[in-house]
Structure 1
């Protein structure tokens, strides 16, 4: 059997917002910045939801009333850390038997400046690598930049 080691996807951005705002926009306002084109549902996406707290669901809602699971909340430490289970396989389908982890650290650099360190790890569990990894790395880059833009406009949230 050929073991392929797949690198962890890491992204880091500095946002001009408080640590509390940075956390809230990522965890509770994902619907404001998640691109409508990035989903696994059968119908157009109308919302992205992360339910607050440990074991909260992470899913999308769609125009036809359906929902598509992405995963769930593994760790919820308000303002400083969010851990999410990503249960989407290399075919971009939900797989309840699969789990890779998305971890996000929010580090205050002052009252209105936060470093956000994003990591999606254990991608070797996807089993396919290559194009999947490159596609996900590019996708997360886009998504994190959208998050940064919305967060910097959201100081009143």
Structure 2
């Protein structure tokens, strides 16, 4: 582990034209409306991204053939203000069943007006990986990472 990995977080902030409850709902129960169906999955594609709406709920991809592939576990479910999930993927994009060995994604939703919400996504914990934490951080921070995914989320709210 390098010092850079231990201190590294990926943070993205977007403001959406939606009330906070709708912003939370589209991010969570509506994830299939914006998460790419043909990419960003570890199982068969095309697939829909699903988050079960409770603590210890699964985050998984459901493929067109019914195959379900886990990629996360809900750690905090606090509608409409906060969601935290363990990112149960290794830097090699394999499944890591132990949340203590995985990175973590927190998403906060704060009303900035009647029909406006600030969404702050923070992906941290890259130092938990025995190897490849900096690689994982760079991938989720780079082109096609959280920035691109949040652009799709914003578009789904229009």
Moved segments of 4+, more than 6 Å = none
C-alpha contact (below 8 Å) 1:45/1:60 kept by paired residues:
no
After superposition, the Cα gap between the structure-2 partners of 1:132 and 1:99, relative to the gap in structure 1 and judged at 3 Å, is closer
TM-score by length of 2: 0.89
Distance 2:94 2:18 in 1: 34
C-alpha contact (below 8 Å) 1:5/1:124 kept by paired residues:
no
The one of 118, 121, 124 equivalent to 2:124 is 121
Count of equivalent residues: 150
- Note the 1:1-150 alignment, pairs <5 A: 3-6=2-5, 7-36=8-37, 37-41=39-43, 43-97=44-98, 98-126=101-129, 127-138=131-142, 139-150=145-156
| 1:111-143 Cα deviation digits (max 9, x unpaired) | 100000100001122321444322211211100
Unaligned runs of 5+ in 2: none
After superposition, the Cα gap between the structure-2 partners of 1:55 and 1:129, relative to the gap in structure 1 and judged at 3 Å, is closer
TM-score by length of 1: 0.89
Residue 4 of structure 1, CA deviation:
4.5
